[in-house]
Amino acid sequence: MKLTEEQARRLIPSIVEATGLRPFQVEHTVGLLQEGATVPFIARYRKEQTGELDEVRIREVEEQFTYFSELEERKVTVLKSIEEQGKLTADLRRRIEATRRKTELEDLYLPYKPKRRTKATIARERGLEPLADIIAAQELTTGAVEDAAGPFVNPDKEVPDVTAALEGAGHILAERLSDDADARSMVRRLTREQGVFVSRVTPDFREQVTKFEMYYDYREPLTSVPSHRMLAMRRGEKEEVLSLSVSAPVEQLLAGLKSRLLLRESIFTALLERVAEDAYKRLIAPSIEVELRLESKDRADEAAITVFARNLRDLLLAPPAGGKRVLGIDPGFRTGSKLAAVDGTGRFLEHVTIYPHIGEARVPQARRELLRLVESHALEMIAVGNGTAGREMEIFARETLAGSGKTLPVVSVSEAGASVYSASDMAREEFSELDLTVRGAISIARRLQDPLGELVKVDPKSIGVGQYQHDVNQAMLKKSLDSVVESCVNYVGVDLNTASWALLAYVSGVGPALARAITRYRDENGSFPSRTALLKVPRFGARAFEQAAGFLRIRDGRYPLDNSSVHPERYRLVEAMATDLGVTLSHLVADPLLVDRIELNRYLSDTVGLPTLSDIIQELKKPGRDPRSRFQTAAFRDDIREMGDLQEGMILQGAVTNVTAFGAFVDIGVHQDGLVHISHLADRYVKDPSDAVKAGQVVKVKVLSVDLQRKRIALSIKEAQQGGIQVK
């Protein structure tokens, strides 16, 4: 939300406390965010202002700023509501204004919050609040409780006897205790610290075998339930297989509540003890359990989303094969395999369908068509989708090439999300005249050339690198994954003259509307000769240019710095460096010996510090360098195609497809990923699997066990280093 400068300034101390950052870092970061700067822009081009905060810390500031902004907005509403009721005291105002937690604010507001008609409301309507006050004061030490309640018996108000009067007064006192912010805080804290999460099988599934068996009678401290177990149990509850609850330290909680309620020994002591029990069991416990279960779910969601985001980042930043001419193959059996050729920029050239897997009679024609495409388009690589018939097609392609004396690399490419893209509006826009499966083959080819450029067209949830993605908070998931895509796109940089609008949309300061405007202008006017030519695009103003320009590249342009991450606002500075060295800008760029002669201290100023100068120097040495790793692919064994071909002890090559909290899944070319448990990731202790492997990484694994019935493969990276059998 957009706040005034004064409102934003008041939030700085809270954000500093929450993040542990220095005040100037938070103040400047918040100021930049309020001005509309993006996280990638701030991290890359405003290092001096933020004290060199990276994207992770900047997003943390952004999240805390949003949290405290919402809290302040809620405080205004709460204070206004209580004030309108004439119940706002100076002490209550102080407590509300001082709180930094949303839960504490809601606890303070609870006694004044408009309620539905409760048992306490009814009791008040029946005139029993004065009796509740007498009982709460606990001043009577002699006599009978019934005598105190007698004057409040009124059949006309549905209070026929002292029992009804005492019960109604008890309801009023129970609600007061339940509404007490300190009492609720105590119950919440102790339940959170000592509570146990309990899972039991529902009666209908007691004798049945399900995937939730391990949770049929399961208990674990609330504070230590890992994300994947929490989400698994919640899914079991959703499918009505499991019943979940939180077991609290009831005796300790009741003792705490009674001590708050009982001021002294009186004739009402036993009654007040029952009131405390009723308040806890009927009012406090159910709401606190819901709250803590939601809190646990949020923690589990956050952990699962973090793993998902990390996997997505690794996949998006997978090494590209580059501008090779590629044949993409979407394999199939009965319906045939779709072959699509693309040039080095990903432009579609031609497609055919072949049927090499439905009988020997169709094989010669299939071989001829494949070779014709390779030869007529001078193709350099073949990308085969790893779905149905993928392994068979890989082997067919290799055999066909070998038979004709050709040595093109044949690479298995993940199909995850390709079908989603093929049926999308974006795919129809790109290839309206082509069949879905042909679009899929084109996408597979382009994924090999540049995974990032093609995967941004697919909903990240469909890429297949997360767990329980449909169970977690969808808004939180989308925000996180969108941030990852934005971060990756801007980290790598985008070719302004070849990028799709889908890729351009993630560039800092651009977005879908401007991205479409850029591609329309490019189609109508040809390639952009320079970054500054962007300003001719309708509605692409100076602000958007500032945010975007540094992340866009002009390959083979007239101005050498346009193909670098040096921001246009620093062009004059770099030109001055070249002049001071007595060389042209073109000579300076990409000549490390010249760059090393630059004396950075000469160019320090109030707005340019060593962090920016160091970035410029690194970029001048390798302008436009792709920061991604060198391209590498797993080599699957041709004789290992199905799970039944596996034997314990085999050493195989594979590619990591997914990293979870408990290990990593690896594709070894048998249509079923194997699991490397966290204990088998390395010959050292591994706390976090992502410290040992990353999605897309090529690894060597040893087959530990194969369960054909349950379709489970156990693998080990650790033991693969120690050798195994090589079955031929």
The torsion angle over the Cα atoms of residues 617, 621, 626 and 631, rounded to 10 degrees, is -130
Q: SS3 for 328?
A: strand
Q: Give pLDDT, residue 725.
A: 46
Q: Residue 593: which residues within 8 A CB-CB, separation 6 or more?
A: none
Q: Give pLDDT, residue 452.
A: 92
Exposed/middle/buried for residue 6 (C-beta within 10 Å: 0-12, 13-18, 19+): exposed
How many Å separate Cα 83 from the centre of its chain?
A: 41
Q: Residue 370: which residues within 8 A CB-CB, separation 6 or more?
A: 327, 339, 354, 397, 400
Contact indicator for 339, 370 with CB cutoff of 8 Å: yes
The helix-helix angle for 250-261 and 181-194 (nearest 10°) equals: 160
C-alpha distances out from residue 117 to 106, 120, 121, 128, 277, Å: 19, 8, 6, 15, 21
Q: Residue 245: which residues within 8 A CB-CB, separation 6 or more?
A: 198, 289
Divide the 728 residues of the chain into consecutive groups of 10 and give the mean pLDDT of each group. 79 95 96 95 96 96 95 95 95 95 94 91 95 95 92 93 96 96 96 96 92 94 92 94 96 96 94 96 96 93 91 90 94 93 94 93 95 96 91 92 91 86 89 91 94 90 78 89 94 94 96 96 95 96 96 92 96 96 92 93 92 94 85 82 90 90 89 92 90 90 92 92 53
Q: Give pLDDT, residue 723.
A: 58
Q: Give pLDDT, residue 728.
A: 35
For 493, the token pair is 């940089």
Three-state helix/strand/coil letters over 487-512 = HHHHHHCEECCCCCHHHHCCCCCCHH
Q: Residue 712 belongs to what H/E stretch?
A: strand 712-716
- Eight-class DSSP state of 650: B
- Eight-class DSSP state of 706: E
CA distance 521 to 538: 8
Q: How far apart are the first and last CA of the chain?
A: 64
The helix-helix angle for 55-84 and 5-19 (nearest 10°) equals: 120
Q: What is the phi-psi region of residue 434: left when phi exceeds 0, alpha when psi lies from -120 to 50, beta otherwise? A: beta
CA distance 170 to 271: 8
Q: Give pLDDT, residue 407.
A: 87
b/e sequence 632-664, b meaning 16+ C-beta within 10 Å: ebbebbeebbebeebeeebbbbbbbbbbbbebb
Q: CB neighbours (10 Å) of residue 498?
A: 18
Three-state helix/strand/coil letters over 180-231 = CHHHHHHHHHHHHHHCEEEEEECHHHCCCCCCCHHHCEEEEEHHHCCHHHHH
How many Å separate Cα 699 from the centre of its chain?
A: 25
Residues found in the chain: 728
Contact indicator for 528, 497 with CB cutoff of 8 Å: yes
CA distance 726 to 702: 10
Q: SS3 for 100?
A: coil
Which residue ranges form the domains of the chain, and what is each CATH number? Answer: 5-112 (1.10.10.650), 119-195+248-307 (1.10.3500.10), 326-449 (3.30.420.140), 487-558 (1.10.150.310), 564-623 (1.10.150.310), 643-722 (2.40.50.140)
Q: Residue 653 belongs to what H/E stretch?
A: strand 651-660
Contact indicator for 219, 196 with CB cutoff of 8 Å: yes
E runs forming strands in 331-407: 337-342, 348-354, 381-385
For 342, the token pair is 């693309």
Q: SS3 for 676?
A: strand
